[in-house]
Amino acid sequence: MIVVDTSVWSAALRRPKGRELPRAGQLLRELIVTGEHVVLLGVVYQELLSGIRHEAQFRRLARTLEPFPMVLATAADHLEAARVMNVSRANGVQAASMDALIAAMALERGALLLTSDKDYLHIAENVPLDVRYVPSSD
């Protein structure tokens, strides 16, 4: 299972004019085409749809994301997120609540986390998070 962070989804969903997709976006598209088990976290779904000004764009993006299996946070995920934050803080790393929850959801499922956010590399120094970091811009 591959948990994909908001940063990578954003890179894949961009429509650059006259340019190739960033490497992170290309990688996600390759994983989807080759049939990898890519999941969409509910919290990432919310982040992706937040801030879209036009209803038509909102509906189009929601339809684009619809085929992906959605994984919702459980009480155990929230408990693990608090632990991730506490362990990280104890080691001098400030983890944002949403990042801790995404990391916890990957941890709880033994999943790989695909991200373009370096903050997860710092979290992974303190918990056994399997992270693949791919820069969003080349």
pLDDT in tens, 34-67: 999 999 999 999 999 998 899 999 999 999 999 9
**pTM for the structure as a whole:** 0.91
In a domain, 13, yes or no: no
In a domain, 16, yes or no: no
Three-state secondary-structure class, residue 64 = helix
Tell me which residue range forms the domain holding 52.
22-133
Three-state secondary-structure class, residue 19 = coil
- Burial of residue 93 (CB within 10 Å: 0-12, 13-18, 19+) is middle
Element (H or E) spanning 132, and its range? strand 130-133
Alpha-carbon span 132 to 4, nearest angstrom: 10
Domain count of the fold of the chain: 1
Element (H or E) spanning 90, and its range? helix 75-90
In a domain, 94, yes or no: yes
In a domain, 67, yes or no: yes
In a domain, 11, yes or no: no
- CATH number reported for the structural domain that contains residue 60 in this entry: 3.40.50.1010
Amino acid at the residue 61: L
Catalogue the E-assigned strands of 25-100: 38-41, 70-71
pLDDT in tens, 100-131: 999 999 999 999 999 999 999 999 999 999 99
